[in-house]
Structure 1
Amino acid sequence: MEEARWRSERETPIPGLPADLAMECIARIPFFFHPELALVSRSWRSALQSPDLFAIRVLAGATKPFLCVDVRTRSNPTNWFLLDPSSSSVVPLPPPPIRAAGSACASIGHLLFVLGGATGGIATPAVQIYDARANRWRRGPKMRAAREFAAAGAVGGRVYVAGGCLPSTEPWAEVLDMEEGRWRPLASPIAIREKWIHGSAVLGGKLLAMADRGGLQFDPEKGRWSAVSEVLDRGWKGRAAAVDRVIYSYDFLGKVKGFDPEMGEWREVEGVDQRLPKFLAGAMIADLGGVLCLAWEGGRGGGKMMCAAVKVEKKERRLMGEILWKEMVELGAPADSSLSHCLSLHV
């Protein structure tokens, strides 16, 4: 509606320039300036919220991946931030409609999906979707089951979720078809079901989940569940992410390692030990536009986060890492804050 009104009135955000040319200029402005620019005038706000703007940004090569980070404090279970770690820029997101702890998360392009979680100690089936292009939240279609600490991931433009509920719950797993706008149950044998999921990732078009009794994987093409390989299962500690068909986690000594299905074994990421801490207390891992990104709490006084981007190359069955950058990001969060989620959005 905003876009239609802007076009119908033939307003231009930049006086003296035709509207189309003004949009070309605006599309090249770094995304982090958009919230401030939206306050300039109604025509600027309409232009920045126009669906055309993102298409122009794509054609102009102005889009890039950003980290979307969730921070938990004693008084608030969820506080989302959008980060450009390479420049240490940070923008707090608007508060979500529901502040739930233990949610599962997934992303598709510029959309962040926050699934379930618990409010007041009670699990919810709520789905919350953040649109980074519009900088606002909306409610999505509710899941068929209430969940907390579930596995989640996006495959082929669909969002999959499993667990986070009693094994007897129907459906134990389900999928959100964005075109249909509804959840569909996924068949899952009772023998594989568990309540708590400790980590999840998407690798090779499959949703992987780590539970108490071992790792599981769901193949959307075949519609089947199966156990992950014994080697992958033994080496997966919890938090993980896949980058370029390699799943990364860390071992009990705090070293970053990767599992390549083609090699069928875990390998330490070499060349990064001197500049990275031992992740004994854990770290967040994300795919930042094809680069391995690590995020962890750090810095004196609390409320700060450390980020590092690692380029990994396979060389003769070895994983050779190169740290592209390492930055401290000031979140402005209380000293008792801790990281809950970290994933990327493309804007």
Structure 2
Amino acid sequence: MSNSNADSTHPPPPPPQPSLTSLPDDIILRCLVLVPRIYHLNISWVSKHLRSLVRSPELNVLRSTLPKTKSSLHVCFEEHSTFHWFTLTTTTEEYGFVLNPTPFPSHPNYGSSTVVSVGSKIFFIGRSKEPSTDLWILDTRTGNMTQGPSMSVPRVHLQAAAGVIDGKIYVLGGRKFDAEVQVEVFDPESETWELAGAEIVRKIPWSGASVLEGKVYMVEYGETNVYNPREGGGQRMVNMASQRLSEDDGSKVTFTDMAYHVCVVKDVLFALFSQTGLMWFDTKLNVWRNVVGRDGKELVISRVRAMSEYDGRLAVFTYIIPADRLRNLNAVDMKRKVECMLVSLDRAGEKICGTIDWSGIVATVPVRFKPQHCLAVSE
């Protein structure tokens, strides 16, 4: 009798729920292939079995069968108002890369405009020395440069920011600071502009802008500002004082630093600051955090002249001057070597780890060559 009462008050525990690891390996691999690579490091900590599958050649083979858009990385150098375009290409199955000349026609707007890419086309917006409503479109497949319809608001590119959301180009600012300026949206399909309300770009977005989660992020000196076109009747532009997170005690510190390069890789915003180095933006805490290496220490990348997303990794270009030429920097025949680093980025718990997969010299250019643009386009 007592046993019966005990059984009624303490029902048997429910059967254990099936886990991912209880499935056959081929099914687990088909699940893992849909997970972005940036989370693979976290997955590898769950169990030794999942770690082996994440690192297995079978997963790489399965990933290669997924449909994906092939992209090319285009780099533009300026030399005394003459522009030289190069394309980063793979020479072998390993990480061998070279910069090859691309036959684009010369055009003054190459070095004087705010620049974004949509598909295989590059769009040059406004000018640098005087406000302009210009829009020029470069088709990287054919090399043709054509003029598009003019904007309503003349803009100066050093004061303007642009980002691509759902295939449309949003252009902000470009006039006086702390003044409301109409946001304009360009539809490349219909080649038409439309107005999207007035907003204030408070400071110079030297580093340009990048789009993350359908929002335009402008990383300015001491501020990180976000424009959300889907906010509706609410506040579309949010201005935040830039804060960095101390990885030691979790405290937040306001900092003022200049970001020279900004891009998004695997749905994470990265910026290279002049003093604080390579950092990523934590959208949950609204703070900047250092990218670390596998050893947990800050990943140091210096002398960066250009930076962009490329094939799911961070492509970083630096200049190297041969030691025997440092004594004569004004020589007419002075050359610089352009080094490329391909950095894979993985989440490790709440941190992001960077690993330099490959680095090497991709070109030797005259010392007068100055990088103007570095951006990926779809082929």
TM-score, with length taken from structure 1: 0.70
What is the match of residue 84 of structure 2? Answer: 79
Structure 1 contact 307–326 (Cα < 8 Å) conserved: yes
Question: Compared with structure 1, are the counterparts of its residues 152 and 302 closer, same or farther at alpha carbon in structure 2 (3 Å cutoff)?
Answer: farther
Map 1:38-187; keep pairs closer than 5 Å.
64-73=70-79, 75-76=80-81, 78-84=83-89, 86-99=96-109, 101-118=111-128, 121-144=129-152, 145-149=154-158, 150-167=160-177, 171-187=181-197
Residue 77 of structure 1 and its aligned partner are, at CA, apart by 6.1
Structure 1 contact 165–172 (Cα < 8 Å) conserved: no
Residue 310 of structure 1 and its aligned partner are, at CA, apart by 0.8
Matched residue SS, 1:166: coil
Residue 317 of structure 1 and its aligned partner are, at CA, apart by 1.2
Residue 322 of structure 1 and its aligned partner are, at CA, apart by 1.6
CA distance in 1, matches of 2:344, 2:140: 26
Within the candidate set 357, 362, 371, 1:324 is matched to 357
Is 2:239 the partner of 1:231?
no
What is the match of residue 242 of structure 1? Answer: 264
What is the match of residue 46 of structure 1? Answer: none
Within the candidate set 231, 254, 260, 2:282 is matched to 260
Within the candidate set 300, 303, 310, 2:343 is matched to 310
Equivalent pairs counted in the alignment come to: 282
Q: Pick which of 216-225 and 295-304 moved more.
A: 295-304
Question: Compared with structure 1, are the counterparts of its residues 270 and 125 closer, same or farther at alpha carbon in structure 2 (3 Å cutoff)?
Answer: same
CA distance in 2, matches of 1:228, 1:169: 18
Return the index of the structure with the highest Cα Rg: 2
What is the match of residue 207 of structure 1? Answer: 216
What is the match of residue 43 of structure 1? Answer: none
Q: Give the counterpart letter for 1:68 in structure 2.
A: H
Within the candidate set 292, 295, 301, 1:270 is matched to 292
Within the candidate set 309, 313, 317, 1:295 is matched to 317
Matched residue SS, 2:243: helix
What is the match of residue 222 of structure 1? Answer: 231
CA distance in 1, matches of 2:337, 2:183: 36
Question: Compared with structure 1, are the counterparts of its residues 310 and 220 closer, same or farther at alpha carbon in structure 2 (3 Å cutoff)?
Answer: same
Structure 2 contact 134–151 (Cα < 8 Å) conserved: yes
Residue 99 of structure 1 and its aligned partner are, at CA, apart by 3.7
Residue 188 of structure 1 and its aligned partner are, at CA, apart by 2.3
Structure 1 contact 166–195 (Cα < 8 Å) conserved: no
CA distance in 1, matches of 2:228, 2:191: 21
What is the match of residue 193 of structure 1? Answer: 201
Q: Give the counterpart letter for 2:88 in structure 1.
A: L
Structure 2 contact 74–87 (Cα < 8 Å) conserved: yes
Question: Compared with structure 1, are the counterparts of its residues 229 and 315 closer, same or farther at alpha carbon in structure 2 (3 Å cutoff)?
Answer: farther
CA distance in 2, matches of 1:216, 1:77: 34
Residue 198 of structure 1 and its aligned partner are, at CA, apart by 1.6
Residue 169 of structure 1 and its aligned partner are, at CA, apart by 7.4
Structure 1 contact 153–159 (Cα < 8 Å) conserved: yes
What is the match of residue 17 of structure 2? Answer: none
Structure 1 contact 305–328 (Cα < 8 Å) conserved: yes
CA distance in 2, matches of 1:213, 1:256: 16
CA distance in 1, matches of 2:294, 2:99: 24
Question: Compared with structure 1, are the counterparts of its residues 277 and 88 closer, same or farther at alpha carbon in structure 2 (3 Å cutoff)?
Answer: farther
Question: What is the aligned-residue identity percentage?
Answer: 23
Structure 2 contact 226–237 (Cα < 8 Å) conserved: yes
Residue-by-residue CA offset, 1:241-288 (whole Å, 9 max, x unaligned): 1112211123444632212313544332222899x8642x54422111
Q: Give the counterpart letter for 2:87 in structure 1.
A: L
Residue 172 of structure 1 and its aligned partner are, at CA, apart by 3.9
CA distance in 2, matches of 1:92, 1:104: 21
Matched residue SS, 1:270: coil
Question: Compared with structure 1, are the counterparts of its residues 229 and 156 closer, same or farther at alpha carbon in structure 2 (3 Å cutoff)?
Answer: farther
CA distance in 1, matches of 2:294, 2:277: 9
Structure 1 segments unaligned to the other structure (5+ residues): 1-58
What is the match of residue 376 of structure 2? Answer: 344
Residue-by-residue CA offset, 1:6-32 (whole Å, 9 max, x unaligned): xxxxxxxxxxxxxxxxxxxxxxxxxxx
Structure 2 segments unaligned to the other structure (5+ residues): 1-64, 91-95, 245-253, 323-333
What is the match of residue 24 of structure 2? Answer: none
Q: Give the counterpart letter for 1:214 in structure 2.
A: E
TM-score, with length taken from structure 2: 0.65
Residue 91 of structure 1 and its aligned partner are, at CA, apart by 2.1
CA distance in 1, matches of 2:110, 2:337: 22
